[in-house]
Amino acid sequence: MSWLWEAISSGFNEPTRDWHLQAVRIMFGLACLAKFVHGATGGGWQRFRNDDISSYLFARRYGARFLAWMRLAYRPALVVRIIAAAMLAAGVYPHLFAALAVLGLLFEMLFIPRSLTFFMACMGTALACAGNLGRPFHLDDSTSTANTWAQAIVMILVLDLYINTSWLKIRSPQFRSGQVISQWLTSARQIQGRLPVWNYHYPQWLISLMANGDGNPTPIARVAAWGTIALEFLIPIGLLAESTRPVAIAAGIGMHVAFAGLLPRHLAAYSLCSTGAYFAFLNG
């Protein structure tokens, strides 16, 4: 914890281990790769091809002329951002491809605006402005101030993400009661056979634990909801203190595994990005 505050007060000039942020770069690149591949599959490749709901919403928001431009640029942009994510994870011209990955995320927000996508774009911007992001397929085990600014910004982004998401959940009566979890599991069970691609598969015993037959929450669902709130609030505190950091990292990985289990195709990228950012908290 003292390292972060000292870095902030001294203008982020404290020397850090370069491989920490380079590990964040690898995980971020893999997260973007998972997200971009997901965006190009499961019907994503066909978006804007016809007069579908995506075309209608996009034209209503930006106008028919911009929709025509989007239809021309959409598929090439999908290919470019997948390549950029793969090159970033491999460490090939990482600053260039980090910037291209950020552009790919912002491009997605034109038609699917999500706060988690914006979080990833902020993290990618920090990486694009970093100093030493490593060489292809290699981590530099050196100590310098080249990455201190970017490393501290990544830490602040993760702290802000967890604290804000826990605050939003605790303000929601539907989430606190477990209703969000139970209704999600119930509805997903009913529609999963009608989806064009695999998104999730929940065993019946899990649904029985979390929801009644009408989708109302069970006591276990309420415990899971409050447990999620508690973890999202306590994990960032634990990450700041060196003595509790291993426990916080283990708890965070377990929590994100559970998140990815609820919606693997959508939340796998977010989980990779968030847990990969834990490397930024290492100071040894």
Radius of gyration of the chain (CA): 20
Q: How confident is the model at residue 233 (pLDDT cuts 50, 70, 90)?
A: very high
Q: What is the DSSP letter of 171?
A: T
Q: What is the DSSP letter of 16?
A: E
pLDDT digits (tens, 9 = 90+) for 17-39: 788 899 999 999 999 999 999 99
Average pLDDT over the chain reads 87
**Percentage of the residues of the chain whose pLDDT score is greater than 70:** 92
59 Cβ contact list (under 8 Å, min separation 6): 66, 67
pLDDT digits (tens, 9 = 90+) for 138-152: 777 778 777 888 888
Average pLDDT over residues 198-226: 82
What pLDDT score does 197 carry? 63
Average pLDDT over residues 52-72: 91
Give per-residue burial for 107-146: e unless 16+ CB within 10 Å, then b.
bbeebeeeebbebbbbbbbbbbebebbbeeeebbeeeebb
With a cut of 70, say whether residue 97 has pLDDT above it.
yes
Is the Cβ–Cβ distance between 74 and 58 less than 8 Å?
no
What pLDDT score does 157 carry? 94
Average pLDDT over residues 8-18: 60
What pLDDT score does 145 carry? 78
Is the Cβ–Cβ distance between 148 and 15 less than 8 Å?
yes
Q: How confident is the model at residue 196 (pLDDT cuts 50, 70, 90)?
A: low
What pLDDT score does 241 carry? 86
The one-letter code for the residue type at 206 is L
pLDDT digits (tens, 9 = 90+) for 66-94: 999 999 999 999 999 999 999 999 999 99
Length of the chain, in residues: 284
Q: How confident is the model at residue 261 (pLDDT cuts 50, 70, 90)?
A: confident
Average pLDDT over residues 241-270: 88
Q: How many CB atoms lie within 10 A of CB 64?
A: 10
Percent helix, strand and coil across the chain, each rounded to 5? 75, 5, 25
Average pLDDT over residues 45-61: 89
Count of the separate structural domains present in the chain:
1
What pLDDT score does 184 carry? 84
Write out the residue range of the structural domain in which residue 236 sits. Answer: 2-281
Q: How confident is the model at residue 279 (pLDDT cuts 50, 70, 90)?
A: very high
